[in-house]
Structure 1
Amino acid sequence: MTGPRPRIHLARAHRVRDGAPVQGARVLVDRLWPRGIARADLAPDLWAKDAAPSNELRRWFGHDPARWAEFVRRYREELAQRPEAVEDLLALCRRGPVTLLYAARDEAHNNAVVLRDVLAGRLAEEEEKG
């Protein structure tokens, strides 16, 4: 038996610019606009800057996989301090599929992965409560 279909997808912004398909609403989840991409080429439905890691955390992490576990902890802590940003994204997810767009080259160690897991966890909790 399979669970509900995933509602939250991830896509690297540069792949979307180059024509990769996107499911549902497009949400850019980086604090900075991705380098080398025109706004018209990415065309996000929402730029969720407030849901992105702080500049300090982003600089500290530097996409170093050795810092991943601590980055996840700190970023989750930041998200807990910004409930409005998380709720805005949850509301969008409740309406249908969402693709979180990010610029990082590392597809396994980036803020969109953490944010997807936070959002999916919250949605799962809501489904359990009914």
Structure 2
Amino acid sequence: MRFLDWVGMTELTIKRAYAPADENDGFRILVDRLWPRGMSKEREHLDLWMKQIAPSAELRKAWNHDPNRILEFAESYRRELDENPAVEELEQIIRDHPKVTLVYGARDPDVNHARLLRDYLEERMAAE
């Protein structure tokens, strides 16, 4: 069974902030604590900025986007998410929209917290 089946046909995707916004993105949420460098609010076409869902500043700085430490970072970020009340708010937003795109500023499309957040949300919501 796919994630779409579990959450009533919501499609949850991730997209880099520097990629052009598209009408097919659906409800766009910036999930970074910091605004992406050089980007204007008009160009991003965001529906929401959820700073509080991003990794803590301490965790982000400790990780420093080192791909060799992604597993350690993922474990720590999941622990933060387990204690973060913003997760429930984000889950409700996902339930309320047919498509949600988590927007992030990191360079690497594979090694970033938005991918980890998406996977975390999919697992959590599938278990409901």
**Fold in common (TM above 0.5):** yes
* Aligned mates of 2:17, 2:42 — CA distance in 1: 12
* Aligned mates of 2:55, 2:121 — CA distance in 1: 15
Q: Which runs of 5+ in 2 are unaligned?
A: none
The corresponding residue for 2:92 is 91
Aligned-partner SS, 1:99: strand
CA-CA distance at 1:44 after TM superposition = 1.2
* Aligned mates of 2:25, 2:41 — CA distance in 1: 18
Q: Kindly tell me the number of residue pairs found equivalent between the two proteins.
A: 122
Q: Which aligned segments of 4 or more residues in structure 1 are displaced greater than 6 angstroms?
A: none
**1:59 partner amino acid:** K
Q: Which runs of 5+ in 1 are unaligned?
A: none
The corresponding residue for 1:45 is 47
* Aligned mates of 1:86, 1:80 — CA distance in 2: 8
Are the aligned partners of 2:10 and 2:95 in contact in 1 as well (CA < 8 Å)? no
Are 2:110 and 1:108 equivalent residues in the alignment? yes
CA-CA distance at 1:54 after TM superposition = 0.5
* Aligned mates of 1:74, 1:22 — CA distance in 2: 32
Q: Deviations over 1:24-80 (max 9, x none)?
A: 100000000000100111121111111000111111111111110000000001111
CA-CA distance at 1:122 after TM superposition = 1.6
Are the aligned partners of 1:72 and 1:114 in contact in 2 as well (CA < 8 Å)? yes
After superposition, where does 1:1-130 map in structure 2 within 5 Å? Answer: 3=2, 4=5, 7-16=11-20, 19-20=21-22, 22-82=24-84, 84-96=85-97, 97-126=99-128
RMSD: 1.5
Are the aligned partners of 2:33 and 2:51 in contact in 1 as well (CA < 8 Å)? yes
Are the aligned partners of 2:10 and 2:100 in contact in 1 as well (CA < 8 Å)? no
TM-score by length of 2: 0.88
